[in-house]
A and B are shown apart, each in its own frame.
Chain A
Amino acid sequence: MDYEPVIGLEVHIQLLTSSKLFCGCSTQFGAPPNSQTCAICLGLPGVLPVVNRRAVEYGMRLALATGCRILPECSFSRKNYFYPDLPKGYQITQYEKPLAKDGGLEICLDGGRKKRVRIERIQLEEDAGKSLHLEEGPTGGETFIDLNRCGIPLLEVVSYPDMRSPEEARIYLETLRQLVQWLEISDGDLEKGSFRCDVNVSLRPRGATKLGTRTEAKNLNSFKGVERTLRFEISRQHALLRSGKGVRQETLQWDARAQAALPARKKEEAYDYRYFPEPDLVHLQIGKKWIEQIRESLPELPSQRRERFMNQYGLRADDVRILVSTRQLADYYEGCLRLYNRPKIVANWIIRELLRELNQRRWGPEEFKVRPSDLVGLFRLIDQGVISERIAKEVFAQMVETGEKPKRIVEERGMVQVQDEREISSAIGEVLREEKENLAKYRAGKIGLFHYFVGQVMKKTRGKANPQLVNRVLKEKLGD
């Protein structure tokens, strides 16, 4: 029988607020352990949590950008479980009434096909602390707890099981991550754990509507890990179903040593979180006016911008995908266009030169100091014939390195294109004197050597000679 995988994802996204969800502790990453805690996030008795308004607004942004319906009233609940990184013994989350419901995210599959993955709900919750496990030790291993992360606001985004392959799951995650970065509500940093993912997967006969028994894997923090785990799990379930054994509902964990997804150590009791309404937090009522205010503050979304770039500037889909990969890059592109309205030239330059320089240095946008006006200044120097395109690339590398203006670099390093016919003529004379043998071959009919002579002249002038001028003068000298 032919089976198809059915995949759903739950993503936890750390929000970029300055303070935690229910207290004023800083959310700064990398502080000394347990230096960003207080009575509230340590779960000491008798304290009162108060909701961070910005966290709610960030959640609203994502809700609106994914077409979710923001519920007129939402509330918080306690999810009870014991783990050392959760000092209260419960996590404050949303259960009965989440922030938003019923939206979707359009993803672009390879080959340009588009697909909508429905989003079931978006909810606000607090993060837990961080555990460091040490295998060795007199007691057979110890766990060290840092509660700085405890109470940092998270959005949980739950998709419907709409994905049909590991690739689709990865593309959904990439699209969602790009969106939260675009909306500036999260840094989406996988390494810092700002973007973590739980996957669930089941198989069913192709065409069937009933879902099969699913398994889950939690807290995956790389897209490769998600793809790898799903691929493994799909083939494992496949084998089970083909051999007539059923799939057991369980939680799996990727085991690097075994290169396999193995059942996670079973908790004694199956999930029984005994949710109940959080009595210390009042309900939130989100009215139309507030929603409209947030909607107006939203930037043009990546999908809208891609569409517009293609229509307005006549760019190819592949180029647009690169230019709209981050909001900074798309803004930069249009910043250049405002000063220099030649969309294709600017797009080419950014995709080929700018990104190459950044990638070579492994730089992010914050390290890149060349302003749009300076890049445009460089284009103008080419247009005016002051430098050749080849030299311009060298100048650009210098601009990236030093942040200096193109004109200054060209002048200081004597990179101005040689326009002086006499200077070029004397360089050609030198080359022809040095290349007596080749000159004879040329005269004997090996006319392909013309380009070789041009190359030698360019070399002698260290690339500064105006190539058209070299061509003309050389032709004259050779008497063609």
Chain B
Amino acid sequence: MVNLEKMRVPIEEVEHIARLAKLQLTEQEKERYSVQLGQILEYMEQLSKLNLKDVPPTSHILPLKNVFREDVVKESLPQEEALRNAPQKEGGYFKVPKALG
């Protein structure tokens, strides 16, 4: 049996992450994610067991650099197409509930 308590992410942290992601979680979900997030972190912890002294950090698995496009205008989507999936639209704009500045 694995020790569930050891892997837990504190509930307050789950709530914090949920707020940043604009998610509303039930108490049960918080419990479940507390354990699941803990397991993910635990899994990643394996890396710290390896000797990575000579391995530079990377954010890519491909040995690619300098991929550019030239500054050329391409056709954009027609306005109707851009707005097609919007739940609310008006006068060519996306319409959303009042946002706070």
Please provide the chain A residues from 253 to 307 with a CB less than 8 Å away from any CB of chain B in the complex: 253, 264-265, 268-269, 272, 274, 277-279, 281-285
Complexed CA–CA distance, A18 and B74 (Å): 10
Chain A facing B: main interface SS? loop
Complexed CA–CA distance, A19 and B72 (Å): 6
CB-based contact A147/B94 at 8 Å? yes
Q: Mark A1-40, 1 if CB is under 8 A from B, else 0.
A: 0000000000000000111000111100000111111110
- Residue B52 CB within 8 A of the other chain: no
- Residue A339 CB within 8 A of the other chain: no
When the two chains form the complex, which single residue of A42, A137, A145, A272 contacts B20, counting CB atoms closer than 8 Å? A272
Enumerate chain A residues within 8 angstroms of B49, measured Cβ to Cβ.
Answer: none
Please provide the chain A residues from 42 to 58 with a CB less than 8 Å away from any CB of chain B in the complex: 42, 50-56
- Residue B67 CB within 8 A of the other chain: yes
Given contacts A143-B99, A253-B101, contact A51 B67 (CB under 8 A): yes
CB-based contact B60/A279 at 8 Å? yes
Q: Output the nearest chain A residue to B62 by Cβ-Cβ distance.
A: A282
Please provide the chain B residues from 2 to 59 with a CB less than 8 Å away from any CB of chain A in the complex: 16, 19-20, 22, 59
- Residue A75 CB within 8 A of the other chain: yes
CB-based contact A42/B73 at 8 Å? no
Complexed CA–CA distance, A32 and B100 (Å): 25
Enumerate chain B residues within 8 angstroms of A281, measured Cβ to Cβ.
Answer: 67
CB-based contact A34/B96 at 8 Å? no
CB-based contact A132/B93 at 8 Å? yes
CB-based contact A33/B91 at 8 Å? yes
CB-based contact A268/B73 at 8 Å? no
Please provide the chain B residues from 60 to 89 with a CB less than 8 Å away from any CB of chain A in the complex: 60, 62, 64-79, 82-83
When the two chains form the complex, which single residue of A36, A265, A272, A285 contacts B76, counting CB atoms closer than 8 Å? A36
CB-based contact A24/B72 at 8 Å? yes
Chain B nearest CB from A196 CB (Å) reads 14
CB-based contact B82/A282 at 8 Å? no
- Residue A146 CB within 8 A of the other chain: yes
CB-based contact A53/B95 at 8 Å? no
Chain A nearest CB from B79 CB (Å) reads 5
Given contacts A265-B100, A283-B65, A285-B65, contact A54 B94 (CB under 8 A): no
Q: Output the nearest chain A residue to B80 by Cβ-Cβ distance.
A: A34
Comparing A80-88, A229-237, A352-360, A420-428, the segment that makes contact with chain B is A80-88
Complexed CA–CA distance, A39 and B67 (Å): 19
CB-based contact A282/B93 at 8 Å? no
Given contacts A139-B98, A142-B95, contact A34 B69 (CB under 8 A): no
Enumerate chain A residues within 8 angstroms of B60, measured Cβ to Cβ.
Answer: 279, 282-283
Enumerate chain B residues within 8 angstroms of A39, measured Cβ to Cβ.
Answer: 77
- Residue A140 CB within 8 A of the other chain: yes
CB-based contact A19/B93 at 8 Å? no
Chain A nearest CB from B86 CB (Å) reads 9
Complexed CA–CA distance, A286 and B76 (Å): 30
Chain B nearest CB from A386 CB (Å) reads 50
Enumerate chain B residues within 8 angstroms of A264, measured Cβ to Cβ.
Answer: 101
CB-based contact A143/B71 at 8 Å? no
Enumerate chain B residues within 8 angstroms of A84, measured Cβ to Cβ.
Answer: 94, 96, 99
Enumerate chain A residues within 8 angstroms of B78, measured Cβ to Cβ.
Answer: 35
Please provide the chain A residues from 113 to 161 with a CB less than 8 Å away from any CB of chain B in the complex: 131-133, 137, 139-147
Enumerate chain A residues within 8 angstroms of B75, measured Cβ to Cβ.
Answer: 24
CB-based contact B65/A32 at 8 Å? no
When the two chains form the complex, which single residue of B68, B72, B93 contacts A51, counting CB atoms closer than 8 Å? B68
When the two chains form the complex, which single residue of B65, B76, B98 contacts A141, counting CB atoms closer than 8 Å? B98
List A residues at the B interface (Cβ < 8 Å).
17-19, 23-26, 32-39, 42, 50-56, 73, 75, 80, 82-84, 131-133, 137, 139-147, 253, 264-265, 268-269, 272, 274, 277-279, 281-285
List B residues at the A interface (Cβ < 8 Å).
16, 19-20, 22, 59-60, 62, 64-79, 82-83, 90-101
What would be 6 A-B contacts, judged by CB atoms less than 8 Å apart? A19-B71, A24-B74, A51-B68, A272-B20, A282-B62, A284-B66
Query: Would you list the 10 A-B pairs with minimal beta carbon distance, nearest first?
Result: A24-B74, A277-B59, A144-B93, A54-B71, A141-B98, A145-B94, A53-B68, A33-B92, A50-B69, A282-B64
